[in-house]
Amino acid sequence: MTRDITADIAASVVRVEVVVGDMVAADQALVVLESMKMEIPVLAAAAGRVAAVGVAVGDTVLEGDLLVTIESWRDDQGVR
């Protein structure tokens, strides 16, 4: 199962904290956006593996634009 993480507001991308293949924990920062001189971290809603990164530093995003795709991580005991 994959989960797309999208921008909640129009903003500039100031940092990308992950790359494809990274394992992330719930509430880990994925991307940092800047809007109206405020930095806004975008956090992972659940643990998983980064399947895609749709932005780079310097990009401008609009509300709803794809930032990162996370896929659930499973092992023999189930979801981690």
CATH no. for residue 67?
A: 2.40.50.100
**Taking the CA of residue 30 as centre, how many other CA atoms within 13 Å lie in the half-sphere pointing to its CB?**
31
Strands 74-75 and 29-35: unpaired
Overall number of domains in the chain: 1
The confidence score (pLDDT) of residue 21 equals 96
The confidence score (pLDDT) of residue 74 equals 58
For each of the chain's 80 residues, which pLDDT tens digit applies? 899 999 999 999 999 999 999 999 999 999 999 999 999 999 998 999 999 999 999 999 999 999 999 998 754 434 44
- Residue carrying the six token digits 């507001």: 9
The confidence score (pLDDT) of residue 76 equals 40
Can you give the residue range of the structural domain that contains 34? 2-79
Which burial class, exposed, middle or buried, applies to 48 when counting CB atoms under 10 A from its CB (0-12, 13-18, 19+)?
A: buried
pTM: 0.87
